[in-house]
Amino acid sequence: MQKVTSLIPIVVLLGLFSAGWIFLTGKSAFEFFTLLAFILAGIGLLAMVLLRVDPKHFNFVLDKVSEIKNEGRDAFLEGRSKESNPYAGVDGELWDTGYDEMSRRASGEKKSN
C-alpha cells in the first residue's frame, strides 16, 4: 500500500503536466508521453553508463574516507595531540572526525568504569 500511495503525487504531476502541454502547445497527449519516455530513457541510459564506466570509484572513495578516519583514531590511541593532523581541508576534517570519535568512545568507557 505504501508503494501505491507514494506513486499518487507522480501520477498527479504527470496529469497536470500533460494537461498543461495540451493546453499550451495544442499538441496531443501522445506527443507529451513520447517526449517524456524519451527523456526518461535518456536519463536511465546515462545512469547505467555512469555506473558501468566507474563502479569502483565509489568504493575507492569510501575506502579512502575510512582509511583517513582510522588514521585519526590511531593517532588518538597513540597519544598524539589533535594538532598533529597531517591533512588539510576535507581530509583534515575526516581525520579530526576519527580522532573525535575515538576520544568520545574512550571518555564514555572511562565514565562507565
> What is the full per-residue pLDDT of the chain (113 aa) written as tens digits?
556 667 788 788 888 888 888 888 888 888 888 888 898 898 888 877 777 766 666 677 778 889 999 999 999 999 999 898 999 998 999 999 999 999 998 888 766 65
80: left (phi over 0), alpha (psi -120 to 50) or beta: beta
Specify the pLDDT at position 49: 76
* 38 vs 41: CA distance, rounded Å: 5
Specify the pLDDT at position 11: 80
Angle at 18 between CA 38 and CA 1, to 5 degrees: 85
CB 85 within 8 A of CB 96: yes
Specify the pLDDT at position 54: 67
